[in-house]
Amino acid sequence: MSPEVQPCEIINKAKLKNVFIAVGRNLIMRDAVTSLIRKYDVTGRYLDRDAIDNLKQYFASGTARLAAAALINANSAALVRGAAIRLFEEVPELIRAGGNAYTTRRYSACLRDMDYYLRYASYALVAADTNVLDERVLQGLRETYNSLGVPIGPTVRGIQIMSEMIQTMASEAGIADTSLIAEPFDHLTRELSEVSI
């Protein structure tokens, strides 16, 4: 119990809202291992051949995942900036008068959002699990974007561009299997694309 909420205290709506926000921020980030173990624990089963094979695959790809995350970390600003440049070249009306990235404030918000997607995609990449994207990024995002009139299509395209750029960098850095890099980005674009505007 938080120190500001005393037993038997009448909780007003503002305090209740803050409690829910605090609980929401403390969602547990899972990785492939904890998700697999949780699945088997819930059903009361021992880890079978499939589980062991999945774990072997996860650990075998661990070095590549960490190397890709290190590339993202070292190049995050350049990735976001480069993806934005390509996006605005492909969809120039976004930065024209009346476009969703027109004005410095909106342009900055676009870059901030792209950085946010990149950061959480890197977490999902290392974890080999997209739950963090569902819980921390996608939950409520479509509704928020729709209510603000932010077009989903360019958002999806910006995420795809970042994925392409990272895969190219990873390939050039000697990471053989770049498909694992695409997984979190593909999840984001697939989930965001399911919305009808």
Q: Binding site for (2R,3E)-phycocyanobilin, residues?
A: 100, 105, 110
User: H or E stretch including 58?
Assistant: helix 49-60
Torsion of CA 154, 160, 165, 166, to 10 degrees: 130
How far is the C-alpha of 37 from the C-alpha of 27, rounded, in Å?
18
CA nearest to 100, candidates 151, 157, 146, 56: 151
In whole angstroms, what separates CA 171 from the centre of its chain?
A: 22
Residues annotated within the binding site are 100, 105, 110
Contact status, residue 61 vs residue 128, Cβ threshold 8 Å: yes
